Structure 1
């Protein structure tokens, strides 16, 4: 325990001449510090202020006390001694352990207290002003940064309870976003180092690390991390200590490790450097030979900003009204009447200092500030962005990052990549060979050829590794853990992963993808629709029902029109006996029956023995025949299509129809990207499909091949990616794709997050697209190799086939019905005539019918005798006119 030592700084010698002339007022401010740097800074800044504002109506006297870091009694005693000397404000202490005691004293006496360190114990500030950024705002920025980096699992290394309190808000990442947080304390081992704790981290698969510790141990933690192999290109660090820029990080600059840090001010500030030089030359520090960066810590700079801001406030108040300092005692109840005014003025003050904007909320907390985002490069720590706590926005600018780091032009050349594949046709398959093959020679397929083409362009080597469980990479949302190819890429067990690996937002959070080498979407695989049996009356199909009805109406209308025109036209009344010059009567050939017969003859393109004479009927007949020409031609052309083209009908046409029905089972690959699409989609139909998939796990499959087999053997539809459907349809001739694409996505090559080879590989993929190599490879593996031409050969057979009786059966039926009706009509006609002539013959109807039938069955007789009685008188003949 340190003894409390009083170090009184009297500036009467500096300002004695000024006092003698101008009789200036003086104000005393106190400082409670635990280290010599703060005491020296306190002295230098007050000295500069008194010299800078030589026209001010006052000058400052600084009393700084060297106090213990943890001894409450000694700190309290020092504070009371300052109050006895009429101080108008107290800076410090530098320890959170003793701060609450000083705060209670200052609140009781209404003396402004200015702090420059993190103090989690302050809940409501009365006389306390804390220039340190509010911990909650810093934590919010760190959360934003983690989400920006798309980290899904993080190891958080913390030093002690103080560190744990500062990072406690990060738990929201797990609650709100499902980010897995692994907390590990930086415990000292038997050797006095942190190596044992860091070795445990090394054995874990997580590569994202956040370090929250004090500046005292930060450098040692980084050095030990490098010794155990954590400072490599595989790992990514976020360091939350705001004094990271004060450390010498040269030994880590060329390790390839991604180290991100933050700061509130630039150590390259010229005014700050000049001030640090003065602080370094004070009597108490000159012997320690400190580096300038170790002097320019955040707490020191905040002390500088606090003194400048406090001076400005006192100057403004003294110009308005005189402030009178008072001697106070800790043991009485008397408080300073000007203290609350100064505190309120400080809270409302907006000051632009070395740490940027200094302002406070109503409670006295500093919530509005800016932070610089730093990144360790081969040139040291560089600013790559800035965070505004008020706007909650991060603006990044990597233009200052060395070119060799942001775009390594030849880094991929002659490198050997471990390429992870999944044995899925046609992307990667074992070669069908009688010889024993080893290494890369044992594989073939679309993705195998792509890697070969990329290696030719970029000049790298590769070794294929098979993903034994056959999984592309699924996220277990309960544990937030990945499996399959994605897990291997995250763990660094493979450099590249290529298969039918769909680029999704979840996967892009944990790995990087090249540009997509194949575009696709989700569709439905189902059996080819069965041909619809031809209808018996298919010959009626070329015209719709309305057209047939209108055709019938036109036939009746034209027939009646011809009948009327025939009656009106004089030309149609002709002499039945051309040899007689003056006939007794004229006849008209266009009776109702003949008009109907004439029109139907034209409709069937057969004509009749009737020949129109009148101009009007000939005109009407011409238009009727033209109409018939067009109608018959259209009917004939359309009939050919209906008789020769098979009509196929599917039980559903799209995903909406499939979701509404219950007879056909349907499913997808369990845990695949297709199932994830329906899980994440907001469309009502897709949510219905996802609910069905979730409730019917027995309809899900582990592999695509199982889904294809079930489609062939069951009443089952399988949801899968369109390119895989295309591959299977070319080999399973009974299958077909139903409906269009439900989404638009693609396959990409997976690699570790922030891989420096991503741009080169993506550029090479674009080159393969532009040169048509990818198209040729798809034709090769989809339509040529491994039975790709099976169904295409079958489809080349002649499509012209003989018509079956089912196709023309309706025509025969109409013929037979027509003949039967005509036969029945002739019998009825015979019966009607015999019935009429029963009185002429004076014979019963049955007798006459029997005689007629008896003659009918005498097939050898072709001549029928007509008696005189059977001739009708002239007056009974129709369509005759007597003159």
Structure 2
């Protein structure tokens, strides 16, 4: 027979029963005994610095008693459990991750402190796994979670003023231009040979002496250009072979313009938003975005040991990336995702991911759903007598909503004022094209109009030259006449021949005569014709 401190019988033993001990105290009494054993000593709690579970207290966040120098989800949870069970505690901080060394068969980090007996409790973002439960007991889950993909939000890329050329590859543009020129030349040759394209220039004359072919190279180029621009042409071939060639070009133009139009909207959206992934499948079928996880963590072990095909594929790709895409901490992985100079996706647990997304809500988002389901628990030595009391406290916190309140405090309210950007707006205006996206279209239009204007100037000046020759007037007089007519915008009719005043002709004639006389005089002086003529006249007189 054994008595407790209150002089109550704890158990009885009878030699006839061998080693069997008959417990005589009730469950309530056993609970009181466990609590007293917990309250007799200061509970050592092992943890590590992980936002937002355990952090050095921010100066702006004053503690209630002013004594605690730490803050975070784990700090508040342990504080509430200590109040519930009436014990005192002390934190010890470890820097190592909770990894298992297969060679020495030892644990590091928080798990190492608990397994070795250095700490009574271990709390942080500590996932309950089958491997860990071989060496330590865990409380009920105080947080449920799963693995998901962290990736940067799609942002508008650098505007490309020639984005309108993106729906077709460079070689397709080259082949299309070659086809345009080739078909135009071929149509010109076919029209020269096809009898149907030689027409009577005077339809009223039933027996013409000559036939005319309108299909020169310029008209052929104009027809093919109008077809591929879906504008048509005012002239069409009449020969069978030339019509067949044009029909095939129309078929080609229909498919090319339809394909271009269909791809343009999708390409511009993709060009503005950059590469996008929606789930693990999208991540596996592409090669541009690298991905990884924390080295030797539970997510790392999940992919390494998984027998599911997709997870095996993800593990093979991650393990073969050069340089390695594995990181030492979650913080390092988040920084790689935020790095604008690389495309990187990070596998991490959804609870920590949710915190980072609230912290960087302008830049990060979760991709797809959860790849598994698990939870965080408080670690303690195997068969710890206070495990039941810890579980009861956590169950009570779940039922009263305290755990959710605690999560909202450290995930949402803490980061409420840190991000100044607005939430995503799903209004259609977000998809508007800027001048940077379509500037190339305006540039092509502007250059084309300038070139066409320069060509018109050359045509105008050449026509002035022809008029000056035909009408026997100076080039500048012809230019003045034509320019005066061109700027008279209200006149819409023009004579076939330019209206040249007689004064212009007489001035031109007098100028021509004076020029001729000067030329003859110059030639006579050069040949000394005056002296020769004088000698001839003297000889005749003699």
* Other-structure match for 1:794: 423
TM-score of the superposed pair, with normalisation by structure 1: 0.36
**Paired residues of 2:73 and 2:410 also in contact (CA < 8 A):** no
Q: Is 1:860 aligned to 2:487, yes or no?
A: yes
**Paired residues of 2:167 and 2:263 also in contact (CA < 8 A):** yes
Alignment of 1:37-56 (within 5 A): none
* Other-structure match for 1:820: 450
* Other-structure match for 1:468: 91
Distance 1:445 1:643 in 2: 44
Deviations 1:84-123 (A, max 9, x none): xxxxxxxxxxxxxxxxxxxxxxxxxxxxxxxxxxxxxxxx
Q: 1:514 to 1:792 in 2, by over 3 A?
A: farther
Bigger Rg, structure 1 or 2 = 1
Distance 2:247 2:31 in 1: 84
Q: Is 1:636 aligned to 2:258, yes or no?
A: no
**Paired residues of 2:52 and 2:411 also in contact (CA < 8 A):** no
Structure 1 residue 595, shift from structure 2 partner: 1.4
Distance 1:752 1:249 in 2: 35
Deviations 1:782-831 (A, max 9, x none): 98665589799611342534432211111121112222322343445567
Unaligned 5+ segments in structure 2 are 1-14, 277-287, 303-314, 395-400, 500-542
RMSD of aligned C-alpha atoms? 6.6
* Other-structure match for 1:653: 289
* Other-structure match for 2:199: 574
Distance 1:543 1:779 in 2: 50
Q: 1:819 to 1:688 in 2, by over 3 A?
A: closer
Q: 1:705 to 1:593 in 2, by over 3 A?
A: closer
Deviations 1:577-630 (A, max 9, x none): 233333332222322211110111111122221134345544544443343333
Distance 2:189 2:407 in 1: 71
Alignment of 1:224-303 (within 5 A): none
Deviations 1:315-350 (A, max 9, x none): xxxxxxxxxxxxxxxxxxxxxxxxxxxxxxxxxxxx
Q: 1:714 to 1:804 in 2, by over 3 A?
A: closer
Deviations 1:8-54 (A, max 9, x none): xxxxxxxxxxxxxxxxxxxxxxxxxxxxxxxxxxxxxxxxxxxxxxx
**Paired residues of 2:299 and 2:349 also in contact (CA < 8 A):** no
Higher relative contact order (CA 8 A, sep 6+): 2
Q: Is 1:583 aligned to 2:192, yes or no?
A: no
Q: 1:673 to 1:788 in 2, by over 3 A?
A: farther
Alignment length, in residue pairs? 425
Q: Is 1:603 aligned to 2:234, yes or no?
A: no
Distance 2:190 2:170 in 1: 30
Distance 2:89 2:416 in 1: 25
* Other-structure match for 1:491: 117
Alignment of 1:480-629 (within 5 A): 484=110, 487-488=113-114, 490-491=116-117, 494=120, 497-502=122-127, 510-513=135-138, 518=144, 520=146, 531-629=156-254
Structure 1 residue 728, shift from structure 2 partner: 0.8
* Other-structure match for 1:736: 364
* Other-structure match for 1:316: none
Q: 1:573 to 1:713 in 2, by over 3 A?
A: closer
Distance 1:254 1:719 in 2: 55
Higher helix share: 2
Structure 1 residue 543, shift from structure 2 partner: 0.8
Pick the aligned partner of 2:381 from 752, 765, 774.
752
**Paired residues of 2:34 and 2:386 also in contact (CA < 8 A):** no
* Other-structure match for 2:311: none
SS at match of 2:451: helix
Structure 1 residue 540, shift from structure 2 partner: 0.6
* Other-structure match for 2:397: none
SS at match of 2:126: coil
Unaligned 5+ segments in structure 1 are 1-247, 257-407, 456-460, 659-667, 694-699, 766-772, 869-883
Alignment of 1:172-571 (within 5 A): 468-471=91-94, 474=97, 484=110, 487-488=113-114, 490-491=116-117, 494=120, 497-502=122-127, 510-513=135-138, 518=144, 520=146, 531-571=156-196
* Other-structure match for 1:804: 434
Q: 1:641 to 1:581 in 2, by over 3 A?
A: same
Structure 1 residue 654, shift from structure 2 partner: 2.1
* Other-structure match for 1:110: none
Distance 1:779 1:572 in 2: 84
